[in-house]
């Protein structure tokens, strides 16, 4: 499941790379920084990425999840730090049904 | 009020109303008003009563409406589409009698109520004036019952010169826009065409049949005329003037309309249920800049919001406090405007529809206007959705000419918009929908879970 989730995040990052003109996002891995001190995205780009990932999860996995909400904000470690932390958080949400 | 009845009589053999395949003359209308007046007297409907008229526009309902105002009652026009809310409306407007036009005209008592009538109603009674109660849309809470002094409102139309024109009525008489068309037509001796349906194809066919010259409509409806291609199937060369209002006009749509109806001029109308319709002029047919040119209306702009004070404003609300009015009588319209040189204004949207993305303001109409120029987009609606990161995020519903996968559409549209809009204005979510969310008056409802009719006008 983790691989599937990561591939969804990578696909969304590929689109973001093209849209934002940021080649560093074109070949993402689990360590790719999203938002924060080393992040490649500003808050607006993060909002867009999350909306994109939500839509892809719904399309590919048939599950509706919400990534940008209070719960995500209040996690000890930000789910939005890297592609990997985001994938962990999505896996957690999906495991809850 | 008598001046209007006298005027209707003076137009005698001219055509007044086209309704359901028949065309009625002014003489017939004046005669029917007399008949209905006698009926009201015979049935004991006293002057000063608050009378709900449950009906759509028709020869009979219009005659009855004028019989009622001439009889100095306070009329509450309610269209049948209101459904289950009827009883609430009757109660909120202090309705004494309910008139329905079915096979026959039925007059029944309104719902029982404990106290007397409203102080404002009493004031009209004491003055011996007729009244009109209109309801707000309810898009900002419970619909407000607004009381107009109808004698005063109608007087605003008294100076209209007689003119041979043919006008379509688009809005109903429970709406200030529909009332404006009615009073304009009758004061000028024009022919008013009542459409039996608001499907673009039908409206265009009636324009052809009656050689309609003036079409008042909303931008949402005009866009439907374009995307349905209804304008190609009928001879619309009679159209001289298209007036638009009730919501901001995307400049991109105005350009497409000018191509579709090259013979017509375009005029922005502006008004509110609270203040009546102002006389306006547009800078040009392809410009959304307009000027309020009305001796009966004053305006000012406070913090970007348009405030109006008019001689035709309401006496007050029957079921709500006077929020929205200042102590010295200015009405805060809730419409945000931009100003340009020489006193021209542009309506940019509703204050409550402004989307706040991390502190930056986005006007839905601006984004919609650009989206409509994107290849394949036939219609769209932009609104804000709550977002934990930026407070709100921009969402767009789009209607496509040809089906395409949603993710591909989103990517293509975001890339298209990138060169035309600031990043924070570009929709985060783009949903492909079959039709945008508009109400029965063809006005967009910019939030998802609201199917209530109406809005500002």
pLDDT for the residue B12 = 95
Encoding tokens for residue B252? Answer: 């991109």
Does the distance separating the beta carbons of A50 and B389 come in below 8 Å? yes
Between B438 and B165, the more confident residue is: B165
CB contact under 8 A, B428 and A51: yes
Mutant choice from A44, A55, A78 vs B, greatest count of B C-beta within 10 A: A44
Residue B455 scores a pLDDT above 70: no
CA atoms within 13 A on the CB side of B326: 12
Least CB-CB distance to A19: which of B387, B390, B414? Answer: B414
In SS3 terms, chain B reads as CHHHHHHHHHCCCCEEEEECCEEEEHHHHHHHHHHHHHHHHHCCCCCCCEEEEECCCCHHHHHHHHHHHHCCCEEEEECHHHHHHHHHHHHHCCCCEEEEECCCEEEEECCCCCCCCCHHHHHHHHHCCCEEEEECCCCCCCCCEEEEEHHHHHHCCCCCCCCCCEEECCCCCCCHHHHHHHHHHHHHCCEEEECCCCCHHHHHHHHHHHCCCEEEECHHHHHHHHHCCHHHCCCCCCCCEEEECCCCCCHHHHHHHHHHCCCCEEEECEEECCCEEECEEECCCCCCCEEECCCCEEEEEECCEEEEEECCCCCEECCCCCCCECCCCCEEEEEEEEECHHHCEEEEEEHHHCEEECCEEECHHHHHHHHCCCCCEEEEEEEEEEECCCEEEEEEEEEECCCCCHHHHHHHHHHHHHCCCCHHHCCCEEEECCCCCECCCCCECCCCCCCCCCCCC
**Backbone region of residue B424 per phi and psi (left: phi > 0; alpha: psi in -120 to 50; beta: other values):** alpha
| Per-residue pLDDT band at B445 (split at 50, 70, 90) | confident
pLDDT for B449 equals 45
B49 closest CA partner among B116, B101, B139, B104: B116
Please give the pLDDT value at position B207.
Answer: 97
What are the residues of chain A with a beta carbon less than 8 Å away from any beta carbon of chain B? Answer: 15, 18-19, 43-44, 46-48, 50-52, 55-56, 59, 68-70, 72-73
Residue B173 has what pLDDT?
Answer: 85
Domain hosting residue A10, numbered range: 2-95
Assess B415–A contact: CB distance below 8 Å, yes or no. yes
> B390: which chain A residues are within 8 Å (Cβ-Cβ)?
43-44, 47
Residues of B in contact with A58 (CB under 8 A): none
ipTM given for this complex: 0.90
Enumerate the residues of chain B whose CB falls inside 8 A of the CB of residue A43: 358, 389-390
Q: Rounded distance, CA A79 to CA A29, Å? A: 15
- Tell me how close the Cα of A16 comes to any Cα of chain B, in angstroms: 9
Q: Using a CB-CB distance cutoff of 8 angstroms, which residues of chain B are in contact with residue A36? A: none
B109, B122, B287 from B42: Cα distances, Å: 15, 24, 53
pLDDT in tens, B341-388: 999 999 999 999 999 998 899 999 999 999 999 999 999 999 999 998
Within 371-410 of B, beta carbons closer than 8 Å to A belong to 387-390, 393, 406-407, 410
| Separation CA B255–CA B14 (nearest Å) | 36
User: In terms of CA atoms, which chain A residue is nearest residue B431?
Assistant: A55
Determine what percent of chain B is predicted with pLDDT higher than 90: 77
Does the pLDDT of residue B337 top 90, yes or no? yes
Question: Distance, in angstroms, between A30 CA and closest chain B CA?
Answer: 22
Write the CB contacts of A93 (distance below 8 Å, at least 6 apart in sequence).
A65, A67
- With an 8 Å Cβ cutoff, are B410 and A47 in contact? no
From chain B, pick out residues whose CB is under 8 angstroms from the CB of A72: 388
Cβ–Cβ below 8 Å for B390 and A43: yes
Side-by-side strand order, sheet with B241-244: B22-25, B15-19, B191-194, B166-168, B214-217, B241-244, B265-268
Mutation choice for B interface testing from A51, A65, A66, A71 by most B CBs within 10 A: A51
Report CB contact under 8 Å: B390, A44: yes
Per the CB < 8 Å rule, is B429 touching A51?
Answer: yes
Decide: B366 and B348 in contact? Cβ < 8 Å.
yes
Q: In what order do the strands lie in the sheet with B316-317?
A: B105-109, B97-101, B50-54, B74-78, B131-135, B145-149, B316-317
Write the Ramachandran bin of B210: left for phi over 0, alpha for psi from -120 to 50, otherwise beta: alpha
Structural domains of chain B sorted by starting position, each given as residue range(s) with its CATH number in brackets: 2-155 (3.40.50.980), 354-432 (3.30.300.30)
Q: In what order do the strands lie in the sheet with B297-302?
A: B280-282, B290-292, B345-350, B331-339, B305-310, B297-302
Give the pair of three-digit tokens for residue B414: 């975001």
pLDDT at B82: 65
pLDDT band at B453; cut points 50, 70, 90: very low
Residues B180/B457, Cβ–Cβ less than 8 Å: no
Total domains in the fold of chain A:
1
CATH code of the domain in which A80 resides: 1.10.1200.10
B238 touches chain A (CB under 8 A): no
Tokens of B239: 């159209």
Contact B415 A56 (CB under 8 A): no
| pLDDT tens by residue, chain A, 97 residues | 899 999 999 999 999 999 888 998 999 999 999 998 889 999 899 999 999 999 999 999 999 999 988 899 888 888 999 999 999 999 999 998 7
Residues of B in contact with A48 (CB under 8 A): 414, 426, 428
- For residue A72, the chain B residue with the least C-alpha distance is B388
């Amino acid at each position: 499941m983790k691989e599937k989730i990561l591939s969804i995040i990578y696909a969304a990052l590929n689109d973001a790379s093209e849209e934002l003109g940021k080649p560093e996002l074109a070949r993402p891995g689990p360590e790719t920084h999203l938002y924060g001190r080393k992040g490649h995205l500003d808050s607006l780009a993060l909002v867009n990425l999350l909306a994109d990932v939500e839509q892809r999860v719904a399309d590919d996995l048939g599950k509706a999840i919400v990534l940008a909400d209070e719960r995500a904000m209040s996690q000890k470690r930000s789910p939005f730090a890297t592609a990997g932390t985001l994938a962990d958080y999505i896996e957690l949400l999906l495991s809850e049904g | 009020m008598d001046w209007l009845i006298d005027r209707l009589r003076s137009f005698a053999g001219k055509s007044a109303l086209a309704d359901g395949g028949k065309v009625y003359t002014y003489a017939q209308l004046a005669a029917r008003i007399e008949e209905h007046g006698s009926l009201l007297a015979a049935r004991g409907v006293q002057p000063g009563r608050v009378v709900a008229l449950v009906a759509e526009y028709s020869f009979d309902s219009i005659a009855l409406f004028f019989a009622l105002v001439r009889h100095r009652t306070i009329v509450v026009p309610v269209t049948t589409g209101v459904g289950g809310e009827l009883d609430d409306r009757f109660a909120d407007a202090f309705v004494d009698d309910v008139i329905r036009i079915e096979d026959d005209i039925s007059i029944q008592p309104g719902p029982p109520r404990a106290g007397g009538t409203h102080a404002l109603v009493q004031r009209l009674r004491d003055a011996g004036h007729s009244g009109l109660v209109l309801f707000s849309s309810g898009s900002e809470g419970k619909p407000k019952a607004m009381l107009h002094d109808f004698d005063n409102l109608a007087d605003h139309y008294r100076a209209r010169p007689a003119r041979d024109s043919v006008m379509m009525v688009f809005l109903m008489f429970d709406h200030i826009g529909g009332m404006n068309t009615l009073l304009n037509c009758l004061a000028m001796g024009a022919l008013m065409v009542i459409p039996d349906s608001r499907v673009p194809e039908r409206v265009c066919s009636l324009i052809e049949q009656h050689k309609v010259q003036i079409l008042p409509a909303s931008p949402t409806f005009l866009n439907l005329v374009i995307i349905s291609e209804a304008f190609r199937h009928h001879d619309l060369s009679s159209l001289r003037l298209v007036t638009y209002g009730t919501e901001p006009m995307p400049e991109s749509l105005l350009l497409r309309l000018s191509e579709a109806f090259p013979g017509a001029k375009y005029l922005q109308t502006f008004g509110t249920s609270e203040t009546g319709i102002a006389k306006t002029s547009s800078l040009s047919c392809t410009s959304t800049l307009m000027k309020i040119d009305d001796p009966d209306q004053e305006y000012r702009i406070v913090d970007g919001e348009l405030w109006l004070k008019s001689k035709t404003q309401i006496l007050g609300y029957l079921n709500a406090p006077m929020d929205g009015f200042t102590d010295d009588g200015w009405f805060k319209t809730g419409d945000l405007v931009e100003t340009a040189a020489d006193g021209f204004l542009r309506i940019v949207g509703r204050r409550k529809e402004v989307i706040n993305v991390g502190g930056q303001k986005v006007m839905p109409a601006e984004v919609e206007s650009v989206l409509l120029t994107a290849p394949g987009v036939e219609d769209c609606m932009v609104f804000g959705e709550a977002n934990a990161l930026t407070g709100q995020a921009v969402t767009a519903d789009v209607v496509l000419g040809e089906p395409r996968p949603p993710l591909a559409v989103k990517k293509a549209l975001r890339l298209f918009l990138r060169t035309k809009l600031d990043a924070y204005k570009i929709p985060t979510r783009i949903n492909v929908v079959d039709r945008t969310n508009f109400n029965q008056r063809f006005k967009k409802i910019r939030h998802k879970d609201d199917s209530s009719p109406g809005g500002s006008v």
